[in-house]
Amino acid sequence: MSKNKYKICISGAAGGACFESAKELAYEIGREVARQGAILVTGATTGVPNEAARGAHEAGGMVIGFSPAATVKEHVKKYRLPTDFMDMTVFTGFGYAGRNLILTRASDAVILVCGRIGTLNEFTIAFEDKKIIGVLAGSGGTASELPHILRVAKRGVGHTIFHPDPHTLVKKVLEMINQHYKAEYGVGARKWKKRQKKLSDF
């Protein structure tokens, strides 16, 4: 695996009717993240994030999960969360709210598929942090309500992209990450991260 890959967080419903209707889309988003050379980041949970993790894993990508639990035992026994498809799990110990903050800030971008209240929480964190946000249009739940939420909030759309096709959405998100790094640092993200790596070697 090459160094300095972008990290894309997939946020979405952990269950319910919203997840059932968006299950295949979640899988395809995960596959596209891996196919287009990024690392998939999830909340190490069920539903949309787990299906995206499965898609990325089966496409040969890397998956990092951020758990609300402090230990693997707590992750499985208390939270009843899966351990499948993840190459690495970070046990935050901060519950769902703290986990949402950490996994969102650890990512270069966030993509929303379907979603409920936790997805909305991750969206607002990403929005306030001026993260790149992709929304799979038409996937239902929170994702379908975001245009209305943004209108009534009167804060603009920030760095939010809406598109109904998984391949195109991931591509546009990656392009926007590159544009962001160039605007902020005058270089592409890969070069900037290599520069940071050199600095950290001293």
Confidence of residue 193 (pLDDT cuts 50, 70, 90): low
Residue 67 belongs to what H/E stretch? strand 63-67
The pLDDT value recorded for residue 187 is 60
pLDDT, tens digit, for every residue of 64-89? 999 999 999 999 999 999 999 999 99
Q: How far apart are CA 16 and CA 1, in angstroms?
A: 35
Percentage above 70 pLDDT, the chain: 90
pLDDT, tens digit, for every residue of 50-67? 999 999 999 999 999 999
Q: What is the mean pLDDT of residues 138-145?
A: 95
Please name each of the domains of the chain with its CATH number.
7-200 (3.40.50.450)
pLDDT, tens digit, for every residue of 78-122? 999 999 999 999 999 999 999 999 999 999 999 999 999 999 999
Confidence of residue 188 (pLDDT cuts 50, 70, 90): low
Tokens of 10: 């997939």
The pLDDT value recorded for residue 185 is 72
Specify the residue for token string 């968006």.
Answer: 22
CA 80 to centroid of chain Cα atoms: 21
Rounded to two decimals, the pTM is: 0.88
Distances (CA, A) of 154 to 45, 79, 130, 150, 170: 32, 36, 15, 6, 26
